[in-house]
Every structure is written in structure tokens, then in C-alpha cells.
Amino acid sequence: MSEDGRAVVRELLRHYAPHFPSRHSGRLIEDTSEFMEIGYGDVMALAGKHYLVIRDEAERRFGMEDPKFWVKRCTELESGERKIIKLVFYETFPLRIGDFEIYCHRSPDKEARILNLVRDDLRFMQGQTVRDSKDNNVRILDVVHGKRLDTVVEDIDADHEHYFHHFFPSILEKFIGSCESIAFLHAHGEKHGDIRRDHLWVEYQTGAYRWIDFDYAFDFHENPFGLDIFGLGNILLFVTGKGEHTTHTLKTGGNGQTGSPALTPDDFSLMFPHRLSNLKKLFPYIPTELNNVLLHFSAGSYVFYDTVGEFLDELRPCLQALR
Amino acid sequence: MDFKKILIAVDGSENASRAVSYVGDMMAGAPGVQIMLLCIERFPDRDLFPDEASWKTRCTEHRDELHRFLLQARTLLVTKGIADTAISERYVVSCSSPFADRSATRCSFGTSIAQEILAVLKEEEFGTVVVGRRGVSKAEEFLFGSVSNKIIHHAKNCTVWVVA
């Protein structure tokens, strides 16, 4: 193809995106192997459609932008829809959880498999997997129009007690639905792999909770779903407490607590010794049943949940108790 | 229940070696002892590898390591004074094996080694089960699970030896 298909791209943009500045018109990409070289103005030709690259995705971590060069924000030219396109990138990297370092593997095939499993199940992000000209696995994802759950919770303008009585029950109800969707994955032998509060999104239009990003794989043999359960526990702790309550916030009095707690190391998270799990000591109106679920994730616990089902069996009655 | 009918669960680790050695020391010269070395194959997840070839290579290496370990364990028991004829081995292949033998009548799903051990324990009516233990913290147990703890909690009608 002449000029790396630039003439084709110019023509596509002229037809589908006439407002796109022609000076930024790039190459036509059919082989996505060299994802670092694919950038703004390039058009990826995949499975009969064309995707104009707008930018690389980035995650905001520790106050800094962390670019993800293998994930492209795109516009599907034929439909005008925004898409997120994930290209093949294999990496293995250590992930720190409390005192542990776990080796995490990025697996495009795992994510493709889960996308297939959850097709039309709107508890999860949606997308399809196609192959480029070099048979690379390319995931074309629909954008979830919404906001991270943690941001939604933090932005509720209420003190904890008001939040807990008036907003939390419906949040818990939806969160239980999200746990059920993780149980669905486990029942099919799959793990989410990266359950964090910024991977659960609240859709603007429907208020539905949706999981995103399934490409992390781990080798946890005796307790394959342990990491997912740990992630669910962390989110429950966050939404119950309307934020994190740490040794730092306890010292600075930024918790809005109504209790006067006498805390011991057993009251804190098993994995993160600075993070309070025993929230009832801070907010005495939290029902004991719910607090007991939180305590399963604390340093004082000797009994852990083996399955999401066990977790849900104790969490569902808490919702009934709150209503 | 015949407590001299002993199942030793091994996985190629140092803890498993200690368990084998301990049984050899305890049971040397004892009449009527029967020992089975049980090895549950568990390959690394296919998702951890970029392609089929590299996964198969690792699985082959892993299987060779386990077979070598079984041979060494048998030799160790014999050296300690257990009759060679009193020792048997069982190797349970992985259900997700990339090799042709995945259609074996019993295969391991790999989701809980402890459950696989307990199933053999029950079926074959062993009186004693022996496992090694590396010693895990509470946090590690929460995250990674513990085979020995699960066996302690769920084994019935038998003696459990945990060699730490």
C-alpha cells in the first residue's frame, strides 16, 4: 500500500470525520504488533471496520498519569462510536498486596474469553475480540459511560451517619449484585483478577454497576478465587465506611466518627495493617452482622471466606437488616 | 481403620521431602505398613504464557520434576527400611493437561489440591494421611490457601500427620 495507506486514511477521514484536522491524518494499520508506534491520527483496520486513534489510555495512580500504550482511545469511523481498543501486550510484573509480592501476568486471551462469556450481561463491560492481519488478539471495547464507584461514594455530600442510613442500603444492594456477577465468573472457572474499587463503574444512565478490565491472571492454586474475594472485601469496607479509615485519618480526626474507639491491631485489615476493618468501633450504628462480615478481612479473624457464595450468604441478610 | 495404611501427599517440595523422610523414620521395620505416594499434577495456568509452546515446555519440565521426585521419595523410604513392595505411587494427571492423557479416568481440576487428596483418602480408605507444611501466616493463608489446613479441617476417620 502506498505511503503506509495514508491516502486511504485521508479518504476515510474526509468521508467519516470531515472535521478531523487533515494535517494529523496518519497511517492505515492492519498489523497492530508495534503498538507503541500507533498514535493520534492513525486508523486501525480491523474486521471490516476502521478505528481512528485519538490517544493512548492512561490510569491515574498516585497522582500521576500512567500511560497504557497498548490501550487506544478510538472512534469507530463507520458508526461514530467511541471505543477502547486493547492490543496484545504480554507482561509479568510484581504486584504488592500488603507485605506480599504476587506475580501478575497480563493475558489478552483470558480477557477475550471472559468478554465472550459475559456477552450481553450488562454487569460487565462489553466488547468483542477480533484478529488483526497478524492474528493478534485485539479487544474492541464499548466505553462505559459512567463514574468509578469510589468516586460516586466519596462525592455524596452527607456525613457518615446520614450516608449510612439513606444512601448505603441501595449501594449495598447493587454491590451484592456485583458480587453475584463475580460468583458467576467463578462458577465458570474464571477469575476477574483485578478487583479494585476503580474497576467497578456506575453507569450514568442506568445507575447499574459494571466491572471492567479482566486481563490480569495469577497463579493461586489452593485458593484460586482468594484474590477476588479479597478485592470484594476491600470494596465493601470502602463503601461501608464512605472511604478509607486509616491510622492516619484516625489521628487527624478526618473520619467523622461518632464513636470514641479503643482500637487494637486485630481491628485492622489483615493485609493492610493501617486500614481499619472494625468500622463499628468508629460508627456504632453499623449493624453487628455487617461488621462481622468486615471482620472476616481483619487481622483478628481466623476464619476466611473460601467462596463468594459464603461471603454473600452473610452479606445478604445485612441488607435486609438495614431496611 | 488401618492406621498403617498411609497416604503421603507429595508435590516435589522440600516440605514433601521432610514428610517422606519422617514417615520412613517412624515406620521403618513396622509390620503391615503400606504406603502410597500421591502426587496431584497441577500445571501453571495457560493464561500465564504467551503461547502454547512455552506453556507445554513448562508443563513437560514440571511433570519430569514430579516423576523424579516420586522416584527419589521411593528410594528414600527404601533406604530408611521400608520394603519396596510396601510402597506404591499414584500420579493424578491434570484435567487441563496439554498432553494426550487428559482423558484419564481421574484427573485433577487443580482448584483444590486438598480436596483431591481427601477424595483419594476416602476412596482408598487410608488410615493415615501425611502432608508437609511450609508454615504460612494468616494473611498468606487468606490469599493463597493452605493444603495442610484444609486437610486438618476436613479429613475424617483417619489420623493426620503434618510435618512442618
- Give the integer Cα–Cα distance in Å for A253 and A248: 9
Looking at the complex, report in whole angstroms how far the Cα of residue A156 sits from the nearest Cα belonging to chain B: 32
Give the residue with greater pLDDT, B53 vs A95: B53
What is the pLDDT averaged over residues A56-68? 80
Residue A70 identity: W
Which residues of chain A are at the B interface, by a Cβ-Cβ cutoff of 8 Å? Answer: 90, 92, 97-100, 102, 105, 107, 109-110, 189, 217, 219-224, 226-227, 230, 270-271, 299, 301-302, 304
With CA atoms as reference, the chain A residue closest to B96 would be A189
Residue A255's pLDDT is: 60
pLDDT band of residue A303 (cuts 50, 70, 90) is confident
Contact A222 B110 (CB under 8 A): no
Residue B97's pLDDT is: 85
Lowest mean pLDDT among A6-20, A207-221, A253-267: A253-267
Q: ipTM of the assembly?
A: 0.77
Contact B144 A223 (CB under 8 A): yes
Nearest Cα residue to A74 out of A46, A89, A95, A52:
A52
Is the pLDDT confidence value at A61 over 70?
Answer: no
Using a CB cutoff of 8 Å and minimum separation of 24, what contacts does B108-114 make?
A: B108/B40, B108/B41, B108/B42, B110/A221, B110/B42, B110/B43, B111/A189, B111/A224, B112/A222, B112/B145, B112/B150, B113/A221, B113/A222, B113/B9, B113/B11, B113/B40, B113/B42, B113/B147, B114/A222, B114/B145, B114/B147, B114/B150, B114/B151, B114/B154
Across the interface, of A98, A99, A109, the residue whose CB is closest to B47 is A109
For the record, the C-alpha cell of A306 comes out as 473460601
pLDDT tens-place string over residues A167-182:
999 999 999 999 999 9
Residue A254's pLDDT is: 61
Most confidently modeled range among A102-106, A133-137, B134-138: A133-137
DSSP A153-220: HHT--S-HHHHHHHTHHHHHHHHHHHHHHHHHHHHTT-------GGGEEEETTT--EEE----EE---
Is the pLDDT confidence value at A312 over 70?
Answer: yes
- Kindly state whether B100 is in contact with chain A, defined as any CB-CB distance less than 8 angstroms: no
Residue B45's pLDDT is: 87
What are phi and psi for residue A315, nearest 5 degrees? -85, -35
- Give the integer Cα–Cα distance in Å for B118 and A259: 47
Is the pLDDT confidence value at A12 over 50?
Answer: yes
Identify each DSSP E strand in B24-153 by its residue range: 34-40, 87-94, 107-108, 128-132
Looking at the complex, report in whole angstroms how far the Cα of residue B5 sits from the nearest Cα belonging to chain A: 26
CB < 8 Å to A302, chain B: 138
CB < 8 Å to A299, chain B: 138
Mean pLDDT score of chain A, rounded to an integer?
93
Looking at the complex, report in whole angstroms how far the Cα of residue A302 sits from the nearest Cα belonging to chain B: 8
Query: Interior CA angle at B159 toward B31 and B109, to 5°?
Result: 110
Contact B141 A109 (CB under 8 A): no
CB < 8 Å to A90, chain B: 50
- Kindly state whether B148 is in contact with chain A, defined as any CB-CB distance less than 8 angstroms: no
What are phi and psi for residue A54, nearest 5 degrees? -95, -45
What is the pLDDT averaged over residues A146-154? 96
- Give the integer Cα–Cα distance in Å for A47 and A68: 23
Residue B25's pLDDT is: 97
Nearest Cα residue to B151 out of B123, B120, B124:
B120
Please report the number of interchain residue pairs, chain A to chain B, with beta-carbon separation below 8 angstroms: 62
Contact B139 A100 (CB under 8 A): yes
Residue A295's pLDDT is: 97
- Give the integer Cα–Cα distance in Å for A82 and A22: 20
Question: Residue B120: helix, strand or coil by DSSP?
Answer: helix
CA B128 to chain CA centroid, Å, is 13
Looking at the complex, report in whole angstroms how far the Cα of residue B98 sits from the nearest Cα belonging to chain A: 16
Contact B138 A98 (CB under 8 A): no
Residue A260's pLDDT is: 55
pLDDT tens-place string over residues A78-88:
999 999 999 99
Residue A155 identity: D
Residue A106's pLDDT is: 93
CA B34 to chain CA centroid, Å, is 16
Is the pLDDT confidence value at A276 over 80?
Answer: yes
pLDDT tens-place string over residues A206-228:
999 999 999 999 887 778 899 99
Query: H/E element holding A290?
Result: helix A288-295
- Residues A17, A52: contact at Cβ < 8 Å? yes
Looking at the complex, report in whole angstroms how far the Cα of residue A16 sits from the nearest Cα belonging to chain B: 36
Residues forming a β-bridge with B132: B163
A92, A188, A222, A228: which to substitute to probe chain B, counting the most B Cβ within 10 Å? A222
Contact B138 A230 (CB under 8 A): no
DSSP 8-state class, residue B44: P
Helix axes A168-187, A308-322, angle to 10 degrees: 160
- Kindly state whether B145 is in contact with chain A, defined as any CB-CB distance less than 8 angstroms: yes
What are phi and psi for residue B154, nearest 5 degrees? -110, -15
CA distances from A297 to A153, A229, A239, A313 (A): 21, 10, 15, 16
Contact B144 A271 (CB under 8 A): no
Residue A296's pLDDT is: 96
CB < 8 Å to A102, chain B: 143
Residue B106's pLDDT is: 76
Contact B48 A224 (CB under 8 A): no
- Kindly state whether B13 is in contact with chain A, defined as any CB-CB distance less than 8 angstroms: no
CB < 8 Å to B50, chain A: 90
- Give the integer Cα–Cα distance in Å for B145 and B129: 19
CB < 8 Å to A99, chain B: 139
Query: Interior CA angle at A148 toward A83 and A107, to 5°?
Result: 55
Residue A122's pLDDT is: 95
Contact B112 A110 (CB under 8 A): no
Looking at the complex, report in whole angstroms how far the Cα of residue A265 sits from the nearest Cα belonging to chain B: 14
Residue A1's pLDDT is: 47
Residue A2's pLDDT is: 52
Grouped pLDDT means (10 residues each) for chain B, 164 residues? 94 95 95 96 89 94 96 97 96 85 70 89 96 86 87 94 95
